[in-house]
Amino acid sequence: MTATAPDPYAAAPGPQLVATGIVLDAQERVLLLPGPAGEMLPAASTGGAETPEQALARHLAAV
């Protein structure tokens, strides 16, 4: 049996990249969504009325 290298992203601290290109930074509680040129932009602010999780759900529902 051969040993496999550990997954460098499994326990990595900080932002986690999802297959859709969406980043949710749990420490900063900022949702970043892919922009038109592929850059990562902060999700529109709702004045604190919407959590990053709710913003993500709204974004995914619109896609």
Residues 6-12: what's their mean pLDDT? Answer: 56
Domain boundaries, given as residue ranges, for the chain? 16-62
* Average pLDDT across the chain, whole number: 64
Question: Hunting for tokens 């297959």 — which residue is that?
Answer: 19
What is the model's pLDDT at position 61?
82
* Alpha carbons 1 and 32: distance in angstroms, whole number: 41
* Alpha carbons 33 and 1: distance in angstroms, whole number: 41
In eight-state DSSP terms, residue 25 is E
What is the model's pLDDT at position 30?
67
Start-end of H helices in the chain:
52-62
Based on DSSP, count helices (H) and strands (E) in the chain, helices before strands: 1, 4
Residue 27 has pLDDT above 50, yes or no: yes
